[in-house]
A and B are shown apart, each in its own frame.
Chain A
Amino acid sequence: MTTSTLSRLYDSDIAWNFRHSWMARISTVTLLLLFAAALFAPLLATQNPYDISQLFLLDSELPPSWVEGGDPRYLLGTDQQARDLYSSILYGLRLSLIVGFASVVLAAGLGISLGLIGGFVGGMVDGAIMRVADILLSFPAILVALLVNGVARGILPPDQHADAAIWVMILAIGLTNWVQYARTVRGSTMVERRKEYVQAARINGVSGMGIMMHHILPNVLGPVLVIATINLGMAVLTEATLSFLGVGMPATQPSLGTLIRIGNEYLFSGVWWVVIFPSVVLVILVLAVNLLGDWLRDALNPKLR
């Protein structure tokens, strides 16, 4: 990027808006920190919670280090299997974000493709896509995700459930959330399609695919970015909910939701830290994504609801 594009970016409305919104800045910094923590989890963690040989069962259920009975080696305490909670949370955050991002990519890819096809081809194809979208939209997302999850589990043999869990989750959440992208892209496509340059390109024998890629896609990137950001928060939340319900990530490969479920089972023995710390991280993550999404929506396009 040359300096002129950089300075233009700096002067743009959105950058100005960003510099003047403390909400946007706080949530961005928080998110960057969380992303970094997830990315460098193996370096930051004090142990690998997936490696049983690193666990010492005698150290199970230790409270956080600053509480009486705490061990300085375990900053946030340990769980029933003597896993260091601090390390587990880093790895769990990593998993939650991987599932979140991957499912957003899947949903966006699927939604954009279907939206382009529906808007460009029209007719029966468009009708079919939009009917499916309507029906999907009339059901709460969590229910659809649970259903896809259940179907996948029904098809897969039980001994593969744990290994395939991450793929099943990405699929379930991605398949649930494509509708909004498809609707937005379809709307823009239908508007663009009628414009003269597209008609001209068609007459000149440019393929439909080429027109979509060159002319229509750039126009819808703004709204898609907004949807994707808001979607990321929803995806992380859905993943956590499914894992909490016991049909998401398995206990051997815990995401934040799984950690909260494990902690929940021992709530009555006074082991509050196993449930509280992952919950706090999850809430901060979702809140930061939502605030950023809200801000982005207002900043990029005030007309977008």
Chain B
Amino acid sequence: MLACVTLMAPFTALLIAVFLVPVGYAIGLSLFGEDHKGLGFGGGTTVFTGLRSYLAVLQDPSFVSGFGAIALYCVIFVPVVVIGALALALLLDSGLVRLRRTAQMLLYLPHAVPGIIAAVIWLYLYTPGLSPVIKLLAQGDITVDFLGMNTVLPSIVNIALWSGLGYNMVIFYAALQAVPREVIEAARIDGAGGFRTALMVKVPIIKGSVLMVCMFALIGALQLFTEPMLMNQATPMVNSRFTPNMYIYDAAFRRNNYGLASAASVILLIVTCALSYAVTRWTGRKERSAR
């Protein structure tokens, strides 16, 4: 028993100190507000405000528009990354491609590049004067503003795509490796070509992985922070409350309103947990039906 306690204690302590306590504290703080202006309470008194902070957050157009930006981001990012990674995995699995291991390694490498550095590289490739891409396009009389009003979101999506394409491809490829070869052989004997086999046989079998990648992409998208934060320095098209996480940062450290920031954090936590819960329920159902 002593051994068990010794092995569990450090992790349990962390679970309490950096997970349960902060979440509880944030919930608590979101229910209180500080009255700076001394409207009859005196300066800096903490008063119970109930759900007022939540109402303030939910009625703040800049918070809601953050979720709007995320939604738009997802509409572009999720289909592109899933279809792209799936197509690459199917091609690698089809046996048509040479140097499979090298190709996997190369495609995966951007995932080892820290998010902030990936963002720096691409930001410079989007910056006129620095970017050889823009220069090359200019020589062909094409002018593109990668940081314009309509292009900035696709530009952010591209950074995430660059980082995530190979990673998701490896997940799909691993799932495809587990597809029973007899099934594919049977499809081939039935006269299905490689393309048909991929689309009608392989994809339905690994649809569990596909759905999971979609869900994780959605959950990841909710956390969007690093890339737009860096873009914020370069273009006015990305404001300081562009995503929910940026809103939280802005509320806490630029506006010094911890109540508002806590409420926004709790809302983001709830949305994320709801999505995660959907993932676990869904995969749980899949496992049960597989038995």
Tell whether A pairs with B. Answer: no
